[in-house]
Amino acid sequence: MRVRDITARARKPGPHTVDLLITLLVQAAVTMPFVVPRAPELPEATWTAYGLTTLMVLPLVVRRRAPVAVLITVLAAGGLYRFAVEGPGQPLPYTGLVAFYTVAELSSPAKRAGIAVLTAMAVLVSVGLDGDALRELLFSLFVFAAAYAFGRFAVTRKAYLRAVEDRARHLELTHRIEAEQAAARERARIAREMHDILSHAVSLMIVQAEAGPVAVRRAPERAEAAFDAISETGRDAMVQLRRMLGVLREDAGSPDAPREPQPALDGLPGLLERVRLGGPAVSYEITGRPRPPGLAVEATIYRIVQEALTNVVRHADAASVRVHLEHGTDMLTLTVTDDGRGPGGGSGLGLTGIRERAAAHGGTACTGPGPDGGGFRVGVTIPHPRPEPEPEPEQQTGPRR
């Protein structure tokens, strides 16, 4: 339990404490007629009358446990006080009002109806013996009706507070679930980025490192290019990893935090060149009328091409790869086709990441054999974002000059 909850409970009195305080307050109210000086013609207040008055108040301590029994006890003690004891009267029936309020708040509808009839009869019998009976009767019925109304209002108020608390808890739970889902999506995104960066870089470095010794023996002039490609691939992977790790840093505003933008379409030629240095021949073709699809879509296309080429290098054993980017009217279509041996024995996380990236922008991804049944083909279609409508020029409504 949190310290704040313990402090709040310590400050808020419990129901038994509240009942005890109410009992003491009612006792103070009924004591006043006994301590205020009385007129000489009135009989003196006796300790018997005061004791019976106190006995009428004491049941209020347990009013929540047995509200009906407490009210009946109070009414019976009040009748005994009125008919058997010569004592000062009270301005209001404080004890009966508190007991009747408790019945209205805590009892069932059937008990409330029966107690209301019983209380009305007790008031009628008690007030009917006075000379000015009608006015006192109406006043007594009014105050008891007010006590009943306040009791029912307390029930409504508690129900409303419970509903508000339930709604607050539901909203808190909803926010917690949304936060957990957002964290899960972010973890999945970071996992895809890390997978693409590391898998691509390590695969190229392995292929180029294996080709290095062969190039030293057969074509020494190509060996230097292979080792340069390894170095360039490693440096590029370090830059991208540093950028990803910078996103995870707590102090994103520090001077060491990376400021490089996300990869875009203009970075594809460099990516393809690094693959060519130690891997298959890669061709790149752009058709249609290019239009900027947005930075987020460009980063997605870059990562999809990167992952598709990584799969080619690791699994396809292909001699050539064709990357085709078509700018359609409503769609941006990417196709990566190789002439290798088809799907490899990988875990499939890369292809899953490709589908997830495409779906994040409302697109689709399909994979399978190449057009002639050989090799492997990755096809991705992403709709162009709809341009925002330009605001209409404001029309002048003033008079012409």
The pLDDT tens digits of the residues spanning 88-107 come to 777 778 888 898 899 988 88
pLDDT of residue 202: 72
Q: How far is CA 22 from CA 96, 154, 384, in A?
A: 13, 16, 72
Which of the listed CATH numbers 3.40.1050.10, 3.40.250.10, 3.30.1490.190, 3.30.565.10 matches domain 181-248+262-383?
A: 3.30.565.10
Cβ contacts of 228 within 8 Å, gap of 6 or more? 277
Q: Is beta strand 364-368 parallel, antiparallel or unpaired with respect to 331-338? A: unpaired
Tokens of 233: 């691939």
pLDDT of residue 373: 77
Q: Could you count the other beta carbons within 10 Å of the beta carbon of residue 106?
A: 18
Reported as a pLDDT band with limits 50, 70 and 90, residue 255 is: very low
Query: Taking 80 as the threshold, does the pLDDT of residue 127 lie above it?
Result: no
pTM of the model: 0.48
Per the CB < 8 A criterion, the answer to whether 208 and 230 are in contact is yes
pLDDT of residue 131: 52
Share of the chain above pLDDT 70, in %: 75
For residue 190, give the 3-state DSSP assignment: helix
Helix/strand/coil percentages in the chain, nearest 5: 65, 10, 25
Query: Taking 90 as the threshold, does the pLDDT of residue 345 lie above it?
Result: no
Share of the chain above pLDDT 90, in %: 11
pLDDT of residue 401: 42
For residue 42, give the 3-state DSSP assignment: coil
Q: In terms of Cα–Cα distance, which of 160, 57, 61, 63 is closest to 105? A: 63
CATH 3.30.565.10 region(s) of the chain? 181-248+262-383
Reported as a pLDDT band with limits 50, 70 and 90, residue 248 is: low
Terminal C-alpha separation, the chain: 76
Across 47-100, the runs of DSSP E, i.e. the strands, are none
